[in-house]
Amino acid sequence: MEKKNNSKIKCLIFLIICFCVFSSVSGAICIKREKSCPAPLTVEQLSHTDLSNASKLMIVAHPDDETIWGGAHLLDGGYLVVCITNGYNTRRAGEFRKAVEQSGNTPLILDYPDKIFFMRDDWSDCKEAIESDISLVMSAKHWDFAVTHNPKGEYGHIHHKMTNAITVQAFNETDSADKLYFFGDYYKASDIEKAGTSVIPEEIMQKKRELCGIYTSQERTMKKLAHMFPFENWKEYSK
């Protein structure tokens, strides 16, 4: 009888501990989510970014996306490159600014969440603020063209898909860019022959690889997507 009571007590203590841990983690996540979405970008804040040398607009979800999907294009210069996430991440934000500036362009990185406690954020708390920011940037001046992720999110990344939808909406509502382009189709390494022949000169490819090398924090991602580096077959959006 005593053994049964001890077992019940141990079980009860275990359940209490589990409940406390779950409550603590849940509370921390809620607090983190409250802090994860900054106030929308203001005209005054945007004015601190020099747009005088930018005639083209690129909008991406994460630091490194601009280089992976458009590094060869960026080497032409003249872009404002807007990254939606990771402005709060010192290392990734630093890599982004270095890559964009080294390619001869202007960086603007925002503070929206990428992952919260190792889980990808769904932007449900931030969507309106992100839409406001992208609309503000799109309408800041007249752009020769804008470019962003494709509707499939390249390999299906939800942030890429949402960035596409938000950018398309801003493009249609502001009428501030002559054209809108999407990053090219993604192919698995085993299907890369379907991508066709790369038209990027080797000299440019070497410079793109150097830009990719800046992202030491994303070495694994770079290796995983390296087969796509030679292909930047952007497609024009049609309403």
* DSSP output for 96-109: HHHHHHHTT-EEEE
Alpha-carbon gap, residue 65 to 103, rounded angstroms: 14
* pLDDT for 184: 98
Residue spans per domain, the chain? 51-236
Model confidence at 17, pLDDT cuts 50, 70, 90, reads: low
What is the β-pairing status of strands 56-60 and 79-85? parallel
Residue 175's CB: how many other CB atoms inside 10 A?
10
Q: 72 and 204 in contact (C-beta within 8 Å)?
A: yes
Q: What is the pLDDT of residue 203?
A: 98
pLDDT tens by residue, 83-132:
999 999 999 999 999 999 999 999 999 999 998 777 889 999 999 999 99
Whole-prediction pTM: 0.85
The CATH class of 51-236 is alpha beta
